[in-house]
Amino acid sequence: MSRIAPLSQETIDKIAAGEVVERPSSVVKELVENSIDANASAITVEIKDGGISMIRITDNGEGIEKDQVPLAFLRHSTSKIKSVEDLLSVSSLGFRGEALSSIAAVSQVELITKTIAGFTGTRYVIEGSKEISFEEIGAPEGTTFIVRNLFYNTPARRKFLKTPQTEGGYIHALTQRLALSHPEISFKLIINNQTKLHTSGNNNPKDAIYQIYGREVTASLLEINQENSLFSVTGYIGKPEVSRGNRDFENYFINHRYIKSSLVAKSIEDAYKNFLMQHQYPFCVLYFTFEGEMLDVNVHPTKMELRFSQNEGIYQALYDCIRERLLNREHIRNISLEETKGKTEEKPEKPKERPPEPFEKKRLMQEKVKEITASIKKDSPYERKYREEQKPIDVPLKKQDVQYVQEEILYEEKFLSEHSKKFHKVIGQVFDTYWLVEFDGKLFIIDQHAAHEKVLYEKTLKILREKTFTSQMVSPPLVVSLDIREETALKEFERQLTDFGFDIRHFGGREYAISGVPGNLYSLDAKQVLLEILDGAGELHKSETPELVLEKIASMSCKAAVKGNHSLSFQEAKNLIEELLELENPYFCPHGRPTIISMTKYELEKKFRRIV
């Protein structure tokens, strides 16, 4: 056996660096979080070659005292905590004192810093954990870190980095999340001498969302603001039309820290169930505040994951908050005819719109109010309200006031409401599949299969929730042959199936007789429903059986619903619309496809060149 010997400090530093510095974005994360903790109001991130050859982080924060500079690069030296007890209440983004030591161990670092009270600044150069220079220098207030040639002394690590474009993409995504997590800070990202991101730092999260994701996403947001005994949450969720095929649009911050949490992700995604198609994920920017004792952040070297002390309560509270917000809105997507253009038709890319300057905002708000009020019908309650109050159109309103007016106008006259149905003008059916209805200056198009499927699904859900199960006797009994796996599932979930309305008895061998079936399955094939429940039962636990039943009935609803290419009468179409009115969420079928879309008169007139 080889002799045991202590490792050299250089080796220890490089091993420690491997835990913290995985790639250039890791360096940016650690340094920017230090800038945030230093109370900076403006932070600039500049990189070249994906951050491999150069990273420069500049802030206008508090700076570092000269005698503190060398200490900052020692392992486990920090100003954030003093003892182990502080870990329970730490609120800073970084606290373990490993970042600067780890970065300096695998790169060439230059630090220039000056405090507000200092007459001169300090320049400190350290390469591979070895101090090269320590001197006074003229400098502005704040701190600048320049990190060159990452992994220059650990080539084995460097060769596993991806291309500069990919590494730069990681830094771009990271900077976006940091800008969202701190809308009160102005962030600028420069990649290879080109500005890729610049936020205003005006402490308005919606402005930050606009500057990062653009107009389309920002126009499709629903505000969240709730406080309960476990946490408080503010921010925005996207309407169902703002979805992506991955979780990159899910942004949630806990005590100002970007976090990955399977618990939070599942709660958000479950709340969107039946609003989105399968394998689609929602957009959100949510800010959570938890008390320190509710969390354990110190569970991962990068502090990207955490543990909660009350998982079930947090899941349910967040689920209810988001679900309620989605259900209290009409989600009929307005379709622009421009979207039908083929990909072969090239169109010059429009330059990204810059955010308005402060002196422009007042004028823009006045113009927006004029536009909104001009679109209000003369007999609407809002027009009467403004006339009664004698509120002049030109009075400048706050941005929040304009948004309130917009949402009120948008959702007052719901297409699917008891008040509106008498104004529906059913035009007819096209392609034996879609019904056209005129209402409130818009053309609404209803997919009869998706709508009928939703009606069947929701009726069955209501029965399950209210436990109004009935059983209908079958004569002669239905006989079904089950394999070993299905037999096991039948025995395990026998009580739940009986509650649901099934009467199943052993008939000899692997045969079972179904003497009773749920009396309110709305034309669903009871035998097929049972087989699908048993087929999926092996994947779930007893406690999840209700969810399993719902999933299987949802899939079976498709088979019972009226299909496309089937002609309905006008009265049948009206009945279908009336049944949609009674539903909690009538806008999406059980699989997340829209049941209704709309098109404005304005869009049609543009196509016919009535409007230039």
Quote the strand ranges of 456-542, DSSP E. 471-481, 503-508, 511-518
Q: Is the pLDDT of residue 598 over 80?
A: yes
Label residue 397 by pLDDT band (50, 70, 90): very low
pLDDT of residue 75: 64
Label residue 536 by pLDDT band (50, 70, 90): low
**Region of poorest pLDDT, from 159-168, 334-343, 603-612:** 334-343
Percentage of residues of the chain with pLDDT beyond 90: 34
Of 609, 464, 483, 423, residue with least CA distance to 548: 464
Q: Is the pLDDT of residue 282 over 90?
A: yes
pLDDT of residue 81: 42
pLDDT of residue 586: 84
Label residue 522 by pLDDT band (50, 70, 90): low
Decide: 258 and 304 in contact? Cβ < 8 Å. Answer: yes
Q: What six digits make up the tokens of 54?
A: 């150069």
- In the sheet that holds 186-191, the strands lie side by side as 130-137, 121-127, 108-114, 142-148, 54-59, 42-48, 186-191, 194-198
Alpha-carbon torsion (367, 370, 371, 372), positive or negative: positive
pLDDT of residue 334: 73
Decide: 70 and 134 in contact? Cβ < 8 Å. Answer: yes
Q: What are phi and psi of 65, to 5 degrees?
A: -60, 145
pLDDT of residue 303: 55
Decide: 115 and 143 in contact? Cβ < 8 Å. Answer: no
SS3 content of the chain, % helix, strand, coil (to 5): 40, 25, 35
Q: Is the pLDDT of residue 201 over 70?
A: yes
CA-CA distance, 110 to 124, in Å (whole number)?
6
Per-residue pLDDT tens over the stretch 364-381:
555 555 555 454 444 444
Domains of the chain with bracketed CATH: 9-195 (3.30.565.10), 214-329 (3.30.230.10), 358-412 (no CATH), 431-612 (3.30.1370.100)
Q: Is the pLDDT of residue 94 over 50?
A: no
Of 412, 380, 374, 408, residue with least CA distance to 393: 374
413/38: higher pLDDT? 38
pLDDT of residue 61: 95
pLDDT of residue 417: 79
Q: What six digits make up the tokens of 330?
A: 């009409």
Q: Which span out of 69-78, 178-187, 276-285, 402-411 was modeled with the highest average pLDDT? A: 178-187
**Region of poorest pLDDT, from 18-32, 352-366, 509-523:** 352-366
Q: How far apart are the first and last CA of the chain?
A: 86
Q: Is the pLDDT of residue 524 over 50?
A: yes
The mean pLDDT value for 175-196 works out to: 95
Q: Is the pLDDT of residue 260 over 70?
A: yes
pLDDT of residue 416: 79
pLDDT of residue 468: 72
- The secondary element (H helix, E strand) that includes residue 362 is helix 358-374
Per-residue pLDDT tens over the stretch 44-58:
999 999 999 999 999
pLDDT of residue 402: 43
CA-CA distance, 12 to 76, in Å (whole number)?
13
Per-residue pLDDT tens over the stretch 298-346:
544 455 667 787 888 999 999 999 998 988 766 776 777 664 444 433 3
pLDDT of residue 89: 46
pLDDT of residue 386: 37
pTM equals 0.64
Label residue 530 by pLDDT band (50, 70, 90): confident
Q: How many CA atoms lie within 13 A of 442 on its CB side?
A: 20
Label residue 546 by pLDDT band (50, 70, 90): low
Four-CA torsion 123, 125, 130, 132, nearest 10 degrees: -80
pLDDT of residue 180: 95
Percentage of residues of the chain with pLDDT beyond 70: 71
pLDDT of residue 554: 56
597 contacts: CB under 8 Å, gap ≥ 6: 332, 333, 334, 335, 444, 445
The mean pLDDT value for 531-543 works out to: 64
Of 558, 464, 466, residue with least CA distance to 518: 464
CA-CA distance, 148 to 53, in Å (whole number)?
5
| DSSP annotation string for 208-257 | HHHHHH-HHHHTTEEEEEEE-SS-EEEEEEE-TTSEESSGGGEEEEETTE
Query: How many beta carbons lie within 10 A of that of residue 397, not counting itself?
Result: 17
Q: Is the pLDDT of residue 469 over 80?
A: no
Of 176, 352, 195, residue with least CA distance to 249: 176
Of 320, 280, 581, 318, residue with least CA distance to 458: 581
426 contacts: CB under 8 Å, gap ≥ 6: 435, 436, 437, 570, 573, 574
Q: In whole numbers, what is the pLDDT of the chain averaged over residues? A: 78
pLDDT of residue 353: 47
CA-CA distance, 439 to 437, in Å (whole number)?
7
- The secondary element (H helix, E strand) that includes residue 168 is helix 164-181
Query: How many beta carbons lie within 10 A of that of residue 117, not counting itself?
Result: 9
Q: How many CA atoms lie within 13 A of 464 on its CB side?
A: 19
Q: Is the pLDDT of residue 17 over 50?
A: yes
CA-CA distance, 525 to 557, in Å (whole number)?
10
- The β-bridge partners of 127 are 108, 130
